[in-house]
Amino acid sequence: MGRRILVVEDDLLNRMFYIATLEQAGFAVTSVGDGARVIDEVERVRPDLVIMDINLPNVSGLVLTERLKAQADYRDLPILAITAYAGRLEEARIRDAGASGYLSKPVTVLALLTNIKRLLRIN
């Protein structure tokens, strides 16, 4: 089985894109569409990487990233943030929250896989 990736995305079409792309690349994928379920799902799945949409209902992806990074068990968990709002201020907010990297929407297959491989140190 491939490395485990948790996709956190409220938009169904985007979530389906990530799941299909990642499964085709050999990753084991779990997904949630609501920020309220993220912490429980991370504890259940123990992913090798989280893809985190920043704009989620109920709880922001930035807040979730900060909460995960504040826990010793997840301090080193790579989190790839996804945002529709590209810019230096947004990038700084994402980095300050503890994300390992970020992509701007629309996300391409190449950008997604390149960043995941970099974060997981896959050649």
Q: What is the pLDDT of residue 80?
A: 98
Residues with pLDDT less than 70, the chain: 1
Residue carrying the six token digits 């779990």: 30
Beta bridge partners of 49: 5
Neighbour-count burial of 67, counting CB atoms closer than 10 A to its CB (0-12 exposed, 13-18 middle, 19+ buried): middle
Residues with Cβ within 8 Å of 62's Cβ and at least 6 positions away in sequence, in order, are 54, 81, 93, 94, 97
Q: What is the pLDDT of residue 90?
A: 84
Task: Using DSSP, state whether 14 is helix, strand or coil.
Answer: helix
Beta bridge partners of 80: 51, 101
Q: Where are the domains of the chain?
A: 4-119
Radius of gyration of the chain (CA): 13
Return the CATH class of domain 4-119.
alpha beta
Q: What is the pLDDT of residue 1?
A: 56
First to last CA, the chain: 17
Q: What is the pLDDT of residue 7?
A: 99
Cα–Cα distance for residue pair 76/74, rounded to 1 Å: 5
